[in-house]
Amino acid sequence: MQNILVLGASGTVGSLLVPALVAAGQRVRAASRHARPFAGAEAARFDFADPATLGPALDGIDSLYLLMPADNLQVEQYLLPVIAAAAARGVKTVLQSVMGVEHEPQNPYRQVELAMQRALPSAVVLRPNWFADNFHGMWAPAVAQGVIALPAGTGASSFIDARDIAACALAALTSTRFNGQAFTLTGPQALDYGAAAALLSQAAGRRIVYQAIDDARFVANLQAAGVPADHGRMLAGLFAAVRAGQTAQVSDAVERMTGRPARTLAQYMADHAGAFR
């Protein structure tokens, strides 16, 4: 049994990882700004923007799950001090990064990966593709209105279910087999947003369509919904890789790490149908 710290514990992946680690018999410290309580885990307050919260969060910890809250852009400012503190204490670290950044030397996530690998050679990098869970998360308002308008063109993505990311995180945290390695995490099949909308329509029992739009309209739509323009532009930039076919890659890493195949998008839709109706 280890003492494992999960940052972003109440977020998309963290809220699945914490109960999975508890069920696996680990001692878990679940950290976020609001210190959401989880049965069987210790809730801790941690704020990337408040360095005084870092030491107490790491005290007595053997292994760390490190991720960036999605609505922030300070990737290096937030993650590098945590990596330095983890390295100083010899804490094994598993970083949730982003698919494809190994091909982008200037990408802040790539900079963080490299710094972590230098400081902590046993660290594990998980690079997930677009989450299926965005359909009931980030894109939920669009799904509710029946029109998913994105600058994705006809590009396909091998959407990954966050439950599979959490399962890979659990494997990386509780075993030494994956130490020092990086894994691209994808679903088993690449689908474009038109095909995803058709699956959504089936699960929801109502018509949901995909509309291809350009970056400017996407950023304007997000701004109208209260998303800051710089965050909107960052998201728009990510869709260039979708249009270029770079998110269509399918990997077998989920099966290699967990011993069972990644869930399909259809399975994700069926399991979350209640959120789409």
135 binds ligand NAP (CB under 6 A): no
196-235 footprint of ligand NAP as x/- string (CB under 6 A): ----------------------------------------
19 binds ligand NAP (CB under 6 A): no
Pairing outcome for strands 156-157 and 209-212: unpaired
8 binds ligand NAP (CB under 6 A): yes
65 binds ligand NAP (CB under 6 A): no
11 binds ligand NAP (CB under 6 A): yes
| Size of interface with ligand NAP, in residues (CB under 6 A) | 24
The whole-angstrom separation of Cα 69 and Cα 187 is 22
Q: Which stretch binds ligand NAP (CB under 6 A): 4-12, 85-93, 111-119, 220-228?
A: 4-12
How many other CB atoms are found less than 10 A from the CB of residue 264? 17
CA pseudo-torsion sign 206, 247, 95, 54: negative
Of the candidates 266, 145, 270, the residue with the CA atom closest to the CA atom of residue 210:
145
33 binds ligand NAP (CB under 6 A): yes
- Label residue 184 left, alpha or beta by phi (over 0 means left) and psi (-120 to 50 means alpha): beta
32 binds ligand NAP (CB under 6 A): yes
114-133 footprint of ligand NAP as x/- string (CB under 6 A): --------------x-xx--
Pairing outcome for strands 191-192 and 156-157: antiparallel
The whole-angstrom separation of Cα 221 and Cα 226 is 9
Q: Provide the terminal-to-terminal Cα distance of the chain, rounded to the nearest Å.
A: 41
Q: Which is nearer to ligand NAP, 76 or 176 (CB)?
A: 76
Binding site for ligand NAP (CB under 6 A): 8-14, 32-34, 46-49, 67-70, 96, 98, 128, 130-131, 134
